[in-house]
Each structure stands twice: as structure tokens, then as C-alpha cells.
Amino acid sequence: MAMDDLLEKLQMQGTENDALQQDKSKKWLNITPGTGEFLALLVDEIQPTRILEIGTSMGYSTLWLAHAGGNSVQVVTIECDEAKHQQAQQHFRQAGMDNRIDAKLGDASDWITRLEGQFELIFLDADRSQYLSLAPRLFQLLKPQGMLVVDNALSHADDVAPFKRWLEQQPELDVGVLPIGKGELVVYLHDDFR
């Protein structure tokens, strides 16, 4: 299946699933296609070799990131829900990208302490109540001149607000919100994070 067709199919399935699903934990909560295009544009611009994603869900956003990066990118993605993790891996195989995507199952706060090396791009789309506790380690993992993108910055502005305030207090960071999709909080790291 062509990549564009697979992305469109996953987007439609996600929308249908979330409309019918009462249980929030079973919703896919995909990014919007506009956010996917924005992430692809960012990847094209930054040309990262490593991307970290926290919150795989069914792998829709992961596929946008991996596809945009081409053969030169490795995406590490973390998901805490086993059923979603399994489903995402199936989608990665379908897309022929499972060799470029390292899908980890478990808690993000546990995994990020074990990851080695740095990433030029980090995409954060998970449990927003965890963001503040993850923050110091995330910026150790982010390469200088790297970017962190946080989804739902407008749709869930109150949830993201404490994290955003913390970011704005860090002198090494430039912080802005773009009205794309559900709102993208974009953070640029100037120098090594202290």
C-alpha cells in the first residue's frame, strides 16, 4: 500500500474509532493531517538522524515522521498501552518502515532514563500531566539547535500551561505556539541544557 493511502486510511479509521469509542484509553487520538504535514516539513528542514516520539498510539504520527526522514532517520517511539503498541508495529510493517522505527513499550519516564545519545527532534503527544516531570531529561536528550514539538497546545491549553510556563523560564529555549492542528507548542534549544 502506498504511504499516502496508508496515512489516509489510518486517519479515517482513527476518526471513526474515536467517534464511537466512549473509553478514552481506547481512542486513537491521532494528530490532524495538518499536524502531520507540519511535522514532515520540520523533518525536511532539520534533516534529523534521530527522532524521539513519546506517545505512539497507533503509529499515525510516527509514520509521518519516519516517512519524511527517509532512509537516513531512526525514530524511537514510546507507548505505554500494549494493544496500541502491537497495532502500531503492525502499521509500521505494513508501511515497510519497521526497520527505521524502534517501538518501545512501557512508561516514558522509565524509558527516557535508559535512552542513550541525543535527538534533533522530539515530538511529545502523551499524558500531559507527566510533561513537567519529563522535562529536564527531555532537554538532556535534545541536541543543541534541536526542536521539541508538543501537540494539543491550544485544544488542551490548560493542561499544557504548567509545562509551557516552565519552558518560558529556561534561558536556553525559544518557545512559541503555532495554530496548526490542535495547536503545536514549538521549542528551540540554543545551547546545551544546564
Per-residue pLDDT at 25: 82
Taking the alpha carbons at both ends of the chain, their separation in whole angstroms is 45
What does the alpha-carbon distance between residue 44 and residue 38 come to, in Å, rounded to a whole number? 10
In a domain, 95, yes or no: yes
Per-residue pLDDT at 194: 64
In a domain, 25, yes or no: no
Region 43-56: what's the mean pLDDT? Answer: 96
Angle at 147 between CA 186 and CA 142, to 5 degrees: 135
In a domain, 8, yes or no: no
Say yes or no to pLDDT of 180 above 70. yes
What does the alpha-carbon distance between residue 13 and residue 178 come to, in Å, rounded to a whole number? 26
Bigger pLDDT: 167 vs 2: 167
Region 60-70: what's the mean pLDDT? Answer: 95
Bigger pLDDT: 150 vs 6: 150
What does the alpha-carbon distance between residue 107 and residue 170 come to, in Å, rounded to a whole number? 26
Say yes or no to pLDDT of 53 above 80. yes
pLDDT in tens, 7-23: 898 888 888 888 888 88
pLDDT in tens, 82-98: 999 999 999 999 999 99
Say yes or no to pLDDT of 1 above 70. no
CATH classification at residue 57: 3.40.50.150
> How many C-beta neighbours within 10 Å does residue 71 have?
8
Are the beta carbons of 39 and 123 closer than 8 angstroms?
yes
3-class DSSP state of 188: strand
Q: What is the pTM of this model?
A: 0.94
What does the alpha-carbon distance between residue 36 and residue 19 come to, in Å, rounded to a whole number? 20
Q: What is the dihedral of CA 8, 9, 11, 13, to 10 degrees?
A: 160
Cα 90 from chain centroid (whole Å): 18
Bigger pLDDT: 25 vs 106: 106
Where helices occur in 104-156 by DSSP H, the ranges are 108-114, 131-141
Number of structural domains in the chain: 1
Per-residue pLDDT at 87: 94
Place of cell 502500531: 88
Question: What is the residue-averaged pLDDT of the chain?
Answer: 94
Region 145-149: what's the mean pLDDT? Answer: 97
Query: What band does 2 get if pLDDT is binned at 50, 70 and 90?
Result: confident
What does the alpha-carbon distance between residue 82 and residue 34 come to, in Å, rounded to a whole number? 27
**Phi, psi for residue 98 in degrees, rounded to 5:** -65, -20
Per-residue pLDDT at 18: 82
5 CB burial (10 A radius; 0-12, 13-18, 19+): exposed
Domain that holds residue 92: 30-189
In a domain, 23, yes or no: no
In a domain, 81, yes or no: yes
In a domain, 120, yes or no: yes
Reading the block at residue 66, the C-alpha cell is 519516519
